[in-house]
A and B are shown apart, each in its own frame.
Chain A
Amino acid sequence: MKKNKIATLYLTVMFIVLYLPIFYLIGFSFNAGQTMNKFTGFSLVHFQELFSDSRLLLILLETFLLAFLSALLATLVGICGTLWIRYTKKKVTKNALLAANNLLLVSPDVIIGASFLILFTVLGKVISGFNLGFLTVLLSHVAFSVPIVVLMILPQLEKMNESLIFAAQDLGANYWQTLTNVILPYLTPGIIAGYFMAFTYSLDDFAVTFFVTGGGFTTLSVEIYSRARQGVSLEVNALSTLVFVFALVLVAGYYWISQDGSSSRKKRKKRG
């Protein structure tokens, strides 16, 4: 009994510590004053500021566009990679491919950012007109999102019953039909989860973008960094309130998708 109380107390304290900074941030976004020190009254003035700051809104839009695009491309490359790895027969080659796939996942952001910066600079010397900017940021986001997509889809493909493919081919489906009508529908939950992860990876990234962005293109994280370095501006708080609400929606969506996937899997099991 006594131990239970200690556990509850500990958890309460830890959850407070975990959420206090976030709610501190959100709370002050409704502050009428200009600092994060003293709450001088409720006001939505910083939200008004935020919504009339066209530069920031444009950055927000571009950040989301970048996330959509990079997640889409990363998912496509990831699907190809998954199929390649799955149908690689030699164990040694397969393991080597998997290891290479995971390399970017474990590398620190700074290394990825620095090495991509070198890569793009070298490419810029070879290809005229290739400069740091939106394209390089997009390419980097695709690049570091590919491995997680592969990791989300591969387990599903490994579980897939091979006879489904044989059945499709016996019934006269060509390779392309087998792929689009049998394999891809089967993998849909994994593909959605992979896209989702790639999307959040892109939204979340700061370090890699910071290295390869050059001057012309800015994402939200980079913008927040440069604003935070100049000190407190409650517009950033208002922004984080919106981000928090968005994160809640995303988490809810993600859990809905994953619950959906697991429940349909359970159903399938029951039927089988």
Chain B
Amino acid sequence: MQKMRSLFAVPYALWLMFFVFAPIALIVGYSLMDINGHLTLTNYQDFFSSSNYLLLTLSSFWYALLITLCTLLFGYPMAYCLTHLKHRDLWLMLVILPTWISLLLKAYAFIGIFGIHGGVNQFLGLFGIPARQILFTNFSFVFVSAYIELPFMILPIYNSLVEIDSSLIFASYDLGANKWQTFTKIIWPLSLSGVKSGIQAIFIPSLSLFMLTRLIGGNHVITLGTAIEEHFLVTQNWGMGATIGVVLIIIMLLVMGLTRQRKGGS
């Protein structure tokens, strides 16, 4: 097969060149160019000297953190409970099923649910709570994002929990550990790899959810993704857009470094 190797290499190498390396080179290149196409560092200077951009990065980071924490907080117990169910594969499938529906449709559903006359306000109205604006608030943005990302947290945690050898847990009880100790000393450390992949799968996309900030956040929340979209498609300032893109890539690499799985372990 060695001889045919070079033949297979052609299409894939073309793909690598055009769609992996060239785009990265181009986005870095454009971030180093001003509007007239001259090589300069002004974009980066602007970015790091403008409180607007720095605040934007910080708030985007903060929202992504919030979304990730929410999914972890609600997803971990759910994954844990799921592993103890009788037909757990079937239930897991039901967790995955919503991910097959376009996130735009789910966001669209929340336009109806969170609307001023929508489902939630009608429900609260039953208890005499006056209708309030839920859509286009920071809360609705975090809620809807967490809702959409939840299955991607549950899935890896579930997988790592299922892999835990149950005799380890029995051993822990036999040795006199209570439920809490068993959880903190045995289950949590062993499921950490799942938690890490869950964080990776959610934190990075959360930085770039520009459609949700538009549809649900009502432009109150601006993430790095929204800023990139705006610079590329609205104000046509590609240099600055590419600069924010490079910052996003750097944050992505940092997050991946922090949540890296140790190789060869368990």
- Which residues of A does B touch, CB under 8 Å? 7-8, 10-11, 14-15, 17-22, 24-25, 28, 35-38, 76-77, 79-81, 83-84, 87-89, 97, 100-101, 103-104, 106-112, 114-119, 122, 139-140, 142-144, 146, 165, 175, 178-179, 200, 203-204, 206-207, 210-211, 220-221, 224-225, 228-229, 231-232, 236, 239-240, 243-244, 247-248, 250-251, 255
Contact = CB atoms under 8 A, between A and B. Distances in A.
Contacts of B20: 100, 103-104
B11 A76 contact: yes
B23 A119 contact: yes
Contact of B108 (A165, A236, A244): A236
Interface string B168-181: 00000000000000
A122 B26 contact: yes
B70 interface: no
B19 A104 contact: yes
CB-based closest 9 A-B pairs? A36-B112, A115-B23, A81-B12, A143-B19, A108-B208, A247-B100, A21-B109, A25-B109, A110-B208
Interface of B: 1-5, 8-13, 15-16, 18-24, 26-27, 30, 74, 77-78, 81-82, 84-85, 91, 93-98, 100-113, 115, 117-119, 122, 147, 150-151, 200, 204-205, 207-208, 210-211, 214-215, 224-225, 228-229, 232-233, 238, 241-242, 245, 248-249, 252, 256
Given A76-B11, A80-B9, A110-B229, A115 B108 contact: no
A224 B102 contact: yes
Contact of B24 (A15, A108, A115): A115
9 contacts: A21-B147, A77-B11, A84-B9, A100-B16, A108-B225, A114-B228, A116-B23, A146-B19, A175-B1
Judged by DSSP, the binding face of A is helix
Nearest to A9: B81
Contacts of A118: 23, 26-27, 30, 238, 242
Contact of B232 (A20, A81, A114, A178): A114
Given A114-B27, A243-B102, A251 B97 contact: yes
Given A77-B11, A81-B15, A221-B102, A229 B112 contact: no
Identify the interface centre among B84, B97, B112, B117: most chain A CB within 10 Å of its CB: B112
B1 A178 contact: yes
Contacts of B13: 84
